[in-house]
Amino acid sequence: MMVIRPIQASDYPSLHEIAVESGIGFTSLPVNEELLRNKIASSEASFGRTVEKPGEESYLFVMEDTQNGQVVGTSGIQAAVGKDDAFYHYHIGKVAHASRELNIYNMVDILTFCNDYTGVTEICTLFLREQARKGNNGRFLSKFRFLFIREHQKRFSETVIAEMRGVSDENGGSPFWQWLEEHFFSMDFPTADYLTGIGQKVFIAELMPKYPIYVSLLSKEAQAVIGKVHEKTRPALQLLESEGFRCRGYVDIFDAGPTVEADLQHIRTAQNSRKLPVRIGDTEGANTFQIINTRIQGFRGIAAPLRIDEQQEVAILSRQAADALQIDEGDKVRFAPLKLKG
């Protein structure tokens, strides 16, 4: 069985392997021991903290295969971005160039440097190792976060975003960054991506063009990838779109990948979730749900068969599922269908 739980210090070797496997462009997991250990420590502190409103907390989870104890994936939530380090985006807008006398009217696309998402919650650091990419593992590793946010709403913002990986080649070359590099940065994409990942972002504010960029001035290759996702990121984007996430014109400043957003009240898994006490019983033939216990410390999440007794208002779980969640009969769980209809 796959169980999702908070990361702990002993998971460092697995997190390092995941960082190596994730490759260039996966900014939130650079291959840097100090940073990765700091991420683990920050997450452990966040799970142990009493919180009344979203702040600098970062929650990092791992998916563990209970059959062999192997960590096969990771997934994270940043409670409120931009409170500590500046959080940059480009916003795609338009400006009109018109002359009434000449009867000429042109709308031109521009990219404006901004910090508009400061303070919102970000789902991030989603990566599932190759050997675990089967069944519903990827879907579950992404979507359980909406149950966690719904259960512990005061820890998070009403707006939730996700930055999607943009287009780059196998060597880490980004068509969008190549144009910026040539004109402003003199630094290749892997280096810029790595520096951002380890928190050294001051160069962005120092070197990034301060005025809006006319899209038509970019190379054709750069223009073509604005708002587009990396080939390996398409399934993740489609899953988020099915949950109600949409791009509102914000893109990453390095690879121009889209940032998608949704209000918690409109995220389908959160909308369709329920919270009921547990009864241990027979679940043969029951549908598979994503299920979490209601704790912060000691959090556990699984995907397992669940039956709802509407008359008794209880959720029926198998003993195995209850043990994996580390709960007893009478404890409450929050759950939602793993696959939503429509």
Could you tell me where the beta strands, DSSP code E, fall in 16-138?
A: 58-65, 70-78, 89-99, 104-114, 121-128
**Predicted local confidence at residue 276, as pLDDT:** 98
Tokens representing 70 are 């192997």
Coil vs helix vs strand at 306:
coil
Distance separating alpha carbons of residues 31 and 29, to the nearest angstrom? 6
Contacts of 145 (CB under 8 A, 6+ apart): 61, 75, 77, 123
**Predicted local confidence at residue 29, as pLDDT:** 80
Distance separating alpha carbons of residues 75 and 63, to the nearest angstrom? 8
Positions annotated as catalytic residues are 230
Domain 2-88+115-268: homologous superfamily in CATH:
Gcn5-related N-acetyltransferase (GNAT) (3.40.630.30)
Beta-ladder partners of 107: 96
Please write the tens of the pLDDT for every residue from 304-337: 999 999 999 999 999 999 999 999 999 999 999 9
**The pTM is what?**
0.90
Amino acid at 179: W
| Domain regions of the chain by residue span | 2-88+115-268, 272-337
Please write the tens of the pLDDT for every residue from 216-271: 999 999 999 999 999 888 999 999 999 999 999 999 988 899 999 999 999 999 99
pLDDT in tens, the chain (342 residues): 999 999 999 999 999 999 988 876 566 787 888 889 999 999 999 999 999 999 999 999 999 999 999 999 999 999 999 887 778 899 999 999 888 888 888 899 999 999 999 999 999 999 999 899 999 999 999 999 999 999 999 999 999 999 998 998 877 778 998 888 777 776 676 676 666 665 665 566 666 777 899 999 999 999 999 999 998 889 999 999 999 999 999 999 888 999 999 999 999 999 999 999 999 999 999 999 999 999 999 999 999 999 999 999 999 999 999 999 999 999 999 999 988 776
Q: What is the CATH number of domain 272-337?
A: 2.40.40.20
- DSSP-H helix ranges across 102-211: 137-151, 175-180, 189-197, 202-207
Q: How many CB atoms lie within 10 A of CB 140?
A: 22
